[in-house]
Each structure stands twice: as structure tokens, then as C-alpha cells.
A and B are shown apart, each in its own frame.
Chain A
Amino acid sequence: MKSLLKKTALAAMIGLSAPALASLAYVSNEKDNTLSVIDIESMEVIDTIDVGARPRGILLSKDHTRLYICASDDDTVQVLDLATRKIIDDLPSGEDPEQFSLHPNNKHLYIANEDDAIVTVVDVTNKDVLAQIDVGIEPEGMAVSPDGKWAVNTSETTSMLHWINTETFEIEKNIVIGQRPRHVEFSKDSKIAWASSEIGGTVHIIDVDSLEQIHEMSFKVRGVNQDRVQPVGIKLTSDGKYAFVALGPANHVAVVDAQTYEVLDYLLVGSRVWQLDLDKDEKRLFTTNGVSGDVSVVDVDAMKVIKTIKVGRYPWGVVIDPSS
């Protein structure tokens, strides 16, 4: 009996101490040069990792073993090994990388170089620069469609979406949208692209087959001045039901019906909310609130903000590891 108890206690201790069992979110802190690691169940910061200067965009490799980090002021993309939480490599990224996107082939990384008005494509397996594509002024947002056919870059000053063919690395079409486009998000079936325009205060819905805009939506938050409504990050649920749009200094996340493009609700979060990510079951949405230095957690079923977690200074990007 005693030994059984001992064994149970031991098993419980092992269970508690194994970090791999917890679901984790990674948050890049732009001014602290760190990543915060959050246990999404307990909603607490469990680790802080030192990384390169001014980390902004972050993303997971398709096999969920590595995290790529845009260390903007170090002009490099760093590779973090998630098992050891150590930086294991640097990739040539071009100057001032801010956002990037990984092709479904898990090899081609598309990086927006804000200062040089180019998009750099790097093969992450051998660090080869495959192409440098001239785009509009101040390229910012970067997305690759889930079917791998398109890479889209947004250029902030030119206010365009540049549609890059991923086989030829050539721009096939430019679409002008609202001022200062920041972010593009594809629907799971790659048929619809959502693009936010920060100064325009709008979100543009693009039909990918025709490469035409089919809808433009704007936002109105009660009690918030209209010029503070600056959409940036977008996240779609995979069932095609909802879209979440981070409204920057409006300090709210808009909940949008992804079929009718109707705004269903505005959720109050911290100051200057920029990027978003959903957990594996799409039950929780994490938002990075730059100015207030925290991360808000939304319960997606209840559509309520349930907690706000303090992280480092100016959290920028957030990624939840779906395999953890």
C-alpha cells in the first residue's frame, strides 16, 4: 500500500514537473529583447528567454520543433529550438525583418524587409537566399496561402497587396487597399484573404481566385475616437465562423462573423493590441497588448476576456504551439 502511494506521488511529481505536457504560448517582447513563455492552462508566464534585439514577428516551423524570430535590430532571423529553448541558428534575412511567413513546404521563408522595400525568400534548410523581390515602400505584412500557391506582402506606404507567385517568385498582381496595410490572413481553404489597413481603419476581403476585393469592412467602437481604430492582426477560426481583428490603440478586439462580415462584438483588452493567435482547440485567443505590456486571453466559446497576463515590455507577436 505504502509503495503504491509512493509511486502515485512520484508519478504526480513527474507529471507536474514535465513542461512538455503543458500547452505553451510564445510572446516576443519588442523592447525587452526576450520571449515570454506562457502556460495556456494556468495562464502564467513560466519562462523568459533572451533573444536578439527587437524581436517582432515570430512563427513556428511546420513540425513545431523550431520557432523563427525576426530580430529586427540585429537584421537577422533567429532559430530557437523549442525543446532546449536555445537559439541554435541565424538566417540571412536582409535588413530590418519585421514580419515573415513560412511556406507549407517548411523550407521557404518569406521575409519583409521594411527599410529596403524588398521581400527576401530564404531556404531555411541551407540558408540560401532564393530571391529578393522588389515590392512597394515599407513592406510589412507577409502571408503564404495554406495551399502554398501565393505569398502576399503588404507595403505600408504604397498601400498595396503584392501577390507573389511562389513558383516563379514574381509579382503577379498588385491590389490597392486602405492606407497602411499591415497584415494578411488566409482562410483555411486558401480561397479568401483578409487584409487589415491600419490608418484606413478598414479590413479588406479579397477573393483569391479572381484577386479582386469583394468586401471592405470598417469598425466603430463605442467610446473610442474613430482615428484610434487601427486594425492590425487578424485571426480566423478554422471552422470559418469567426474572424478576430486586433484594433490597435482602440484597445479592443473585434469579433467578426466570417461569413457575413458583420461585427458581432468588441472585446476590451490592453493598450495597443496588435497580434493574435488561437490555441489548438480554438477555445482560447491570445492577444499582445504592446503599450500596456500584457497579453489578454479570450474564452472563444463565451466570447469574453477572462484574464490579462503581464509579460515583458511591448509584446509584439504571439504564437501558440499546437503540438504542446
Chain B
Amino acid sequence: MKVAHYWHCFVGIQAREWLRFWQQRTRFFSALIRPLLWLVVFAAGFRAVLGVSIIPPYQTYITYETYIAPGLCGMIVLFNSMQGALSMVYDRELGSMRVLLMSPLPRPFLLITKLLSMGIVSIGQVYLFLLVARLLDVEPPAWGYLAVLPAVLLVSLMLGAFGLLIATWVKQLENFAGVMNFVIFPMFFLSSALYPLWKMQEASPWLYWLCQFNPFTHAVEAIRFALYLQWNPAAFGITATVTLVLATLATAGFRPQRTRILASRPSSPQAQE
């Protein structure tokens, strides 16, 4: 297999993701509404909450808006990845996933490429969000916008791999909504996205440890530190390790024929396509 084949396949998957994205372009903007509501409505009510302590990577006192902006970037990626996982279950039901996996290229390559293509859409949304946030006085240093790119990509790979793993477990499309609620909300709320961990520790040490063991906390911190041009080896290391583990598990465990509808049908899979 030549590099050219890989490249051809890579471009193909990207193109398909962008095509899908273009067809659902309203989703691109509506996905921005959620974090913006958090930023404008929720954060406004808590403006005075944080002027108590200076925590790295910040050099001075910050508004609550400034604090939660990186968490909301994480939220965008989280929702996107779960949406991506949903679409993978959907693809599987419709059989287009099977077409993809029929490619002679190695399955991990195909799946990782798919995750990357989803990640690139997330990056677009994160940048659009950061742009709007800048108008609302969330102003990280200019180079931070560049430094945050690898962090967002890494986080979207991690969460994408997690979504993929869930997709391999979930047998039916209908179950997915429930899974999303069980995954997204605890992951988001039990993290440093909305409150710094020292505040959590004040409230309850248990909460603090739950947050510490939540990879999403480290994902958010990786974004936060990168956006403010600081290197946080722990956050990056944990995010990268979790990404590696999840991606390995997900690509190894992914079976296109897990869906019950297909499994219950005696006819050949070609009929589906």
C-alpha cells in the first residue's frame, strides 16, 4: 500500500465529512448557541464569583467569563464528538460505515482519519466561538490562538475516540440519547470547566477527586494553558495518554456489524448498500 493510497483515502474521508458538514451547516452555528448562552447568560450572573485567587495560567484576576471560556471550548468539542459518535452509529445502521471499512487500508487508519475529520470541524467551531468571546472581552494573548490549535485537536481526538468506543457498545440508535445524557453531563460538570478545582475541593474532597479522575478536566486544562501560552505537561500528558488508550480500544473493538437490525437480518450486507 503506497502513501498515495493513504492520502487518497484521507482526502476522501475529509471530503465526506465536510460535505456532511455543509449539508448540516445550520448545525455548525446552532452548536455555537449553547456555549454562547453559557458565556453570556450563566457567566454574567457569576461575574463576581472568581475575584478571590489567582490560579495558573492566569497572571492576574479574571472575570468568570474568562475562566469558563476554555471549558466551553471543551464543551463544543465534547458535544461534537458525541454527535460524531451518533452519526457513526447512524452510518452503521445505514451501512455506509461498512462501505468505508471495506477499504483495504488498515481499520485503525480509517477510523483515526474519521476522528481527525471530525476534529477539524470542531476546531472551526472552537475558533468561531473564541472570536465571538473576544467581542465579549475574553481576550487571551494573540499567540494563544495558535497555541490552542494542537490542544483542541488532541482533545477532539480523545473525545472522538471515546465516542467511537461508546458507538461500539451501543447496539441501537435509540439507546444513544440516554448514553449521551449519562456521558456528557457528568463529564462536563465534574470537571474544571465551570469551577476551578480548588473550589470543588472546598465544597467536597470527593467531588475534587472525581474531577481529578475525569479526563475531561485535563482536556480543559490543556486547552486553558495553551490558550494562555503556558505549558502544562500533566494536562497534556494525561490527555495524550487517555487518547492513545481510548483510540486503541475503540479501533480494536469496532465492529461494523454490531447493530441489531443488521444482525437480525439473514440477507447479505450488500443488500443494505
Contact = CB atoms under 8 A, between A and B. Distances in A.
Contacts, number: 34
Given A304-B139, A308-B54, A269 B60 contact: yes
Most buried by B among A268, A296, A304: A268
Given A304-B139, A308-B54, A224 B48 contact: yes
Interface string A28-56: 00000000000000000000000000000
Contacts of A297: 60
B61 interface: yes
A308 B139 contact: no
Interface residues of B, number: 12
Contacts of B124: none
A251 B59 contact: no
B63 interface: yes
Contacts of A296: 60-61
B11 to A, nearest CB: 43
Contact of B61 (A222, A223, A224, A269): A269
A217 to B, nearest CB: 23
B139 A223 contact: no
B9 interface: no
Interface in A270-315: 270-271, 292, 294, 296-297, 304-308
A251 B53 CA distance: 13
B51 interface: yes
Nearest to B49: A223
A306 B59 CA distance: 7
Interface of A: 222-224, 251, 268-271, 292, 294, 296-297, 304-308
30 contacts: A222-B47, A223-B44, A223-B47, A223-B48, A224-B48, A251-B51, A251-B61, A268-B51, A268-B60, A268-B61, A269-B60, A269-B61, A270-B51, A270-B61, A271-B51, A292-B52, A292-B61, A294-B54, A296-B60, A296-B61, A297-B60, A304-B139, A305-B60, A306-B60, A307-B59, A307-B60, A308-B54, A308-B59, A308-B60, A308-B61
Interface of B: 44, 47-48, 51-52, 54, 59-63, 139
Give 6 closest A-B pairs by Cβ, nearest first. A223-B47, A308-B60, A307-B59, A305-B60, A268-B61, A223-B48
